[in-house]
Structure 1
């Protein structure tokens, strides 16, 4: 590795924006800088432990892994040093000059300067290092990679104003040393007691010792004093861990500064031995729908950190879960490829999934308000589980929440168990409708019969809902039934014909044949229906046929969906249907029939293939 001299480089524009945000918006919570820098030091130690599994020589000669902190009151500097993995010149440029996450720029522009939100999001980028500039007007980093020689260290310096210098340096030991030149009004961070209180508050649970330098007044002897407990939190007994410690550990683990909603800490012994500590966040991360959103648990094997974001232990629909798993049954040199096919992995994944679902079930029973908060943030993701996790489909269905005609609100609060308890006498099925929006579902003509009969209908308007319902066939022995499909149970509800109605239907038989002739293969069938009160006509599909919403899903995914062929159902007692039936002129009759079909299609699909033709038709008939 040859020395490359000194160069000055500009920060990537996202870093400039982030630095501006750090320096100007996060002033109210400035002590977080120390937590972030200690957290980074802990990660550097974890990475060294992992690399040393293959190359034990990396540990050579630099003592026990740990973090050391000291101040120089005369120079107004605070230094945080670790003897972890260290960085090469290229890694320094990559880690301290750029933010690699896609979507960062758009995100930074969108958050403005909402202080509370900003401070919660710092660590989600993995850029907590820049929080040093909240308290420092100059930062110097000297780092030496574990694989480098003493004269191959690197020095990075910046005043946080748009550029940094990088130069060759000499460092006798591996690791990273960060020196903050504190601003004039930040001298409180030179105070020993202040630093100790921050370390105890935020970094007590970190598994490597954090030591502060003390100097004996008389003898001037330098001593190091450990400030934190320095025992991996998940290895301690649950009874000895306070809620505050669990919350602080969650912050360290997830870089999310909202408190977790709920957590579960379990040690399992027997055939398989492992410890899991799983958290459910209270807020969804900003990039949860990004394709490169990292998810999964931290994996430890016998307390040695192995990898971040090990998604093999958590199904995709539980990608919001944070936490770790520490296994005694996996080899220390385990790789992602080995994890993919391992029987141990499969068992751990099943156990973790079950544990999370049980946590949610408990939350839903014991704290409806908190569960509702969870559903608002993560309900859409949980819905994916109906098609992904066949083994747990029943418990996932229990956790689903819906808007329904029972409440006059678009809030998804209705559980399927509540729906079943309210079912009308003789009601055989759970009725639902899918639509583009809550309003479109609520005011759909398909609901007229159900309103009249006082039967509750679930109103589904999220894009994923149609796909979800294709995977949910029944709950507690009751089948699901879409009200936009023709079905015997719906016919039975509507079918209370009087002799008068039967007579009217008989008289309209020639009219139905005439409509069939006019429409030809535009529709699958034409029939009369008694399920409507205020609407002249609707279109329906049959069980097993492509639905409107499913066709829209195909289109949104850029795939060609088969054309939906509808049954055209007419309300025999509606004045417009009677008007059409009485029309003798063939051209006028065709206009009336097409108008009624287009109205029904518009209500069903929310759009028409040829809206201008529909408008012309309406205007023409209005003129008459």
Structure 2
């Protein structure tokens, strides 16, 4: 007698297809998952039982068909009513040895098929009857006894519904079964049948997981893990090593990447739950700083989230993540001791990842500080190389300021660190803690201005008019003209914002927006009293042009040149120009080009 599911089945199918599962192909994962759990349940009754899964791809009455077999525990009639016909009931809930926890897995088959036929015989009784459960996507199901000899276990048959035929093609079934079940401990065989004969068969998990195998040497194990990474992740790693965590019962392989990953790819690893693929982009099991590796990890003691695409955030996951971090840290420390050249190659590619770890672990920093590269005004250098030039470690954490300071520091042989990443500053602060005798100094615009060379009173006297005119030009830009002496002499002018670039950036953004947002930004702006500047333009007395400007009598020309030097200093510091500054540049270029043109003009018709 036909009965109905206790739910709006079509609505549930739409939910599974469009929202909960990543694609129709997950019906294969759910079939394998149910089969594996059934085998594990049978092993509780028969400890020596050897499990196996099989899928047959064929055509029945011309319709693409998949028949799935498992030799698991099977189902009794009461279990069929309870677990197949009631949505969200699961025989596996609360049993940690089973993969399935949600009781809706079999319904994924309705995404690709209008009906599901299950034939099963239970291992719980020697005289158990063979049973049939037939479910329709319309919401009806029927249960009955079949007059057919069945082995203990279950057989599920699906026929492709219109538009889903590609999910029943042999090559696709093989690829997806391997994708989801490559680590399953029981053989998963996919067969292709023609006219009832097997014409092709593949065991998709024949290779298995390398961490479960024994090897004759460390090199043999390393090579097997590199091969596994190449096969599984399509990455030719620099190195590969095993990771384990008793917390969460996690095992797996970490592959050292031969390239620096992009931001969008960092922190995404392949994760399995009880040997079934959970996610290709799991981001919560491996520490976020470990973007020098790509991991394949299986967890037997963690829980999945409802969408089954990540692990559930709980204390067990936090502990497992910490232990995975310990394993990664131990690998790097061991590499420093046994193969420094290999470590150097890794640091050259992944120094940001190493810095991220060193910034939060002083013991790790103590070991790795001599290796870590920093961008400086003299090029890439390590901390020991920097200290060969100066006892103090000096750094700038503002990109624009570094661009201004770098040529000045380089001219005097100073190595100023460009610490624009959060990791850089954390490493430098940690280094200072470990070496109290090493002064650590953050440079800002005021510090830099204070270190520029002063000029004598006689120079100030002869440049009084120059400075007065320069201040008249710069007044509307909240900038004050100063006269200094510094190397390199090729640098005519240096722009230094007082107290950082926030107010300048705010004013520029305010010019580009209208209405409400302009008002909001205006509320953030701190008005300056008339005549008070928040930046300085330092004219370099060592540059001959400044001396010539001091003796220039044509003030209109002087004002134009000062304006152009101001804009040039902004551009050298990579400061985006405000509207008035852009206008100053355009007018200045046009006028200065005109100076070089002949006075006679030719009219163009």
- For residue 327 of structure 2, the aligned residue among 349, 355, 363 is 355
Query: Aligned pair in 2 of structure 1 residues 342, 228: CA closer, same or farther (>3 Å)?
Result: closer
- CA drift of 1:145 comes to 8.5
- Tell me, in whole angstroms, the C-alpha distance in 2 between the residues paired with 1:598 and 1:300: 60
Query: Aligned pair in 2 of structure 1 residues 350, 423: CA closer, same or farther (>3 Å)?
Result: same
- For residue 393 of structure 2, the aligned residue among 422, 426, 429 is 429
- Tell me, in whole angstroms, the C-alpha distance in 2 between the residues paired with 1:145 and 1:262: 46
- Tell me, in whole angstroms, the C-alpha distance in 1 between the residues paired with 2:376 and 2:230: 37
Kindly indicate whether the alpha-carbon contact (under 8 Å) linking 2:395 and 2:417 is maintained by their aligned counterparts in 1.
Answer: yes
Alignment of 1:51-450 (within 5 A): 64-67=51-54, 83=70, 88=108, 91-92=111-112, 149-150=133-134, 153-156=157-160, 166=165, 179=170, 206-210=184-188, 232-236=209-213, 242-251=221-230, 255-268=232-245, 274-283=250-259, 289=264, 295-300=268-273, 309-318=281-290, 321-325=293-297, 330=302, 342-360=314-332, 366=339, 368=341, 372=345, 376=349, 394=365, 401-402=373-374, 406=378, 414=380, 416-417=382-383, 420-431=384-395, 446-450=405-409
Give TM-score, length-normalised by structure 1: 0.54
- For residue 573 of structure 2, the aligned residue among 604, 608, 612 is 604
Q: Which residue of 2 aligns with 1:451?
A: 410
Query: Aligned pair in 2 of structure 1 residues 480, 593: CA closer, same or farther (>3 Å)?
Result: farther
- CA drift of 1:282 comes to 3.2
- Tell me, in whole angstroms, the C-alpha distance in 1 between the residues paired with 2:442 and 2:486: 14
Q: Which residue of 1 aligns with 2:92?
A: none
- CA drift of 1:571 comes to 0.6
- Tell me, in whole angstroms, the C-alpha distance in 2 between the residues paired with 1:298 and 1:554: 47
Q: Which residue of 2 aligns with 1:581?
A: 550
- Tell me, in whole angstroms, the C-alpha distance in 1 between the residues paired with 2:214 and 2:356: 35
Kindly indicate whether the alpha-carbon contact (under 8 Å) linking 1:68 and 1:212 is maintained by their aligned counterparts in 2.
Answer: yes
- CA drift of 1:589 comes to 3.6
What SS class does the counterpart of residue 284 from structure 2 fall into? helix
What SS class does the counterpart of residue 614 from structure 1 fall into? helix
What SS class does the counterpart of residue 258 from structure 2 fall into? coil
Cα distance per residue 1:101-142 (max 9 Å; x no partner): xxxxxxxxxxxxxxxxxxxxxxxxxxxxxxxxxxxxxxxxx9
- CA drift of 1:600 comes to 0.7
- CA drift of 1:619 comes to 4.2
Larger Rg: 2
What SS class does the counterpart of residue 595 from structure 1 fall into? helix
- Tell me, in whole angstroms, the C-alpha distance in 1 between the residues paired with 2:68 and 2:27: 8
- For residue 491 of structure 2, the aligned residue among 520, 535, 541 is 535
What SS class does the counterpart of residue 593 from structure 1 fall into? helix
Kindly indicate whether the alpha-carbon contact (under 8 Å) linking 1:485 and 1:543 is maintained by their aligned counterparts in 2.
Answer: yes
What SS class does the counterpart of residue 534 from structure 1 fall into? coil
Cα distance per residue 1:29-73 (max 9 Å; x no partner): xxxxxxxx9xx99955664379879x989x99x99342468999x
Gaps of 5+ in 2: 11-24, 71-99, 121-131, 137-156, 192-196, 433-437, 527-532, 597-605
Cα distance per residue 1:120-171 (max 9 Å; x no partner): xxxxxxxxxxxxxxxxxxxxxx9879999457554349xxxxx96659xxxx
Query: Aligned pair in 2 of structure 1 residues 47, 64: CA closer, same or farther (>3 Å)?
Result: same
Query: Aligned pair in 2 of structure 1 residues 416, 530: CA closer, same or farther (>3 Å)?
Result: same
Alignment of 1:490-569 (within 5 A): 491-492=450-451, 495=453, 501=456, 503-505=458-460, 507-508=462-463, 511-520=466-475, 522-532=477-487, 533-542=489-498, 546=502, 565-569=534-538
- Tell me, in whole angstroms, the C-alpha distance in 1 between the residues paired with 2:302 and 2:183: 24
- For residue 559 of structure 2, the aligned residue among 590, 602, 609 is 590
Query: Aligned pair in 2 of structure 1 residues 581, 52: CA closer, same or farther (>3 Å)?
Result: farther
Cα distance per residue 1:584-607 (max 9 Å; x no partner): 455444323222211111211264
Query: Aligned pair in 2 of structure 1 residues 484, 618: CA closer, same or farther (>3 Å)?
Result: farther
Query: Aligned pair in 2 of structure 1 residues 479, 150: CA closer, same or farther (>3 Å)?
Result: farther
- Tell me, in whole angstroms, the C-alpha distance in 2 between the residues paired with 1:447 and 1:333: 50
- Tell me, in whole angstroms, the C-alpha distance in 2 between the residues paired with 1:428 and 1:279: 38
- Tell me, in whole angstroms, the C-alpha distance in 1 between the residues paired with 2:506 and 2:290: 24
Query: Aligned pair in 2 of structure 1 residues 89, 229: CA closer, same or farther (>3 Å)?
Result: closer
Kindly indicate whether the alpha-carbon contact (under 8 Å) linking 2:282 and 2:310 is maintained by their aligned counterparts in 1.
Answer: no
Kindly indicate whether the alpha-carbon contact (under 8 Å) linking 1:383 and 1:468 is maintained by their aligned counterparts in 2.
Answer: yes
- For residue 616 of structure 1, the aligned residue among 587, 593, 596 is 587
- CA drift of 1:474 comes to 3.6
- Tell me, in whole angstroms, the C-alpha distance in 2 between the residues paired with 1:280 and 1:386: 18
Query: Aligned pair in 2 of structure 1 residues 70, 52: CA closer, same or farther (>3 Å)?
Result: closer
- Tell me, in whole angstroms, the C-alpha distance in 2 between the residues paired with 1:526 and 1:356: 54
Alignment of 1:5-84 (within 5 A): 43-44=29-30, 47-48=33-34, 64-67=51-54, 83=70
Q: Which residue of 2 aligns with 1:485?
A: 445
Aligned positions, number:
473
Q: Which residue of 2 aligns with 1:117?
A: none
- Tell me, in whole angstroms, the C-alpha distance in 1 between the residues paired with 2:398 and 2:498: 15
Query: Aligned pair in 2 of structure 1 residues 416, 331: CA closer, same or farther (>3 Å)?
Result: same
Kindly indicate whether the alpha-carbon contact (under 8 Å) linking 2:396 and 2:416 is maintained by their aligned counterparts in 1.
Answer: yes
- CA drift of 1:539 comes to 0.6
Kindly indicate whether the alpha-carbon contact (under 8 Å) linking 1:466 and 1:549 is maintained by their aligned counterparts in 2.
Answer: no
Query: RMSD in angstroms over aligned alpha carbons?
Result: 6.3
- CA drift of 1:399 comes to 7.3
Q: Which residue of 2 aligns with 1:28?
A: none
- Tell me, in whole angstroms, the C-alpha distance in 1 between the residues paired with 2:429 and 2:511: 27
- Tell me, in whole angstroms, the C-alpha distance in 1 between the residues paired with 2:509 and 2:322: 30
- Tell me, in whole angstroms, the C-alpha distance in 1 between the residues paired with 2:469 and 2:422: 37
Cα distance per residue 1:363-382 (max 9 Å; x no partner): 67836578657855x66777
Cα distance per residue 1:62-96 (max 9 Å; x no partner): 99342468999xxxx9x996659677465339xxx
- Tell me, in whole angstroms, the C-alpha distance in 1 between the residues paired with 2:119 and 2:280: 20
Q: Which moved more, 1:588-597 or 1:603-612?
A: 603-612
- Tell me, in whole angstroms, the C-alpha distance in 1 between the residues paired with 2:230 and 2:342: 23
- CA drift of 1:534 comes to 0.6
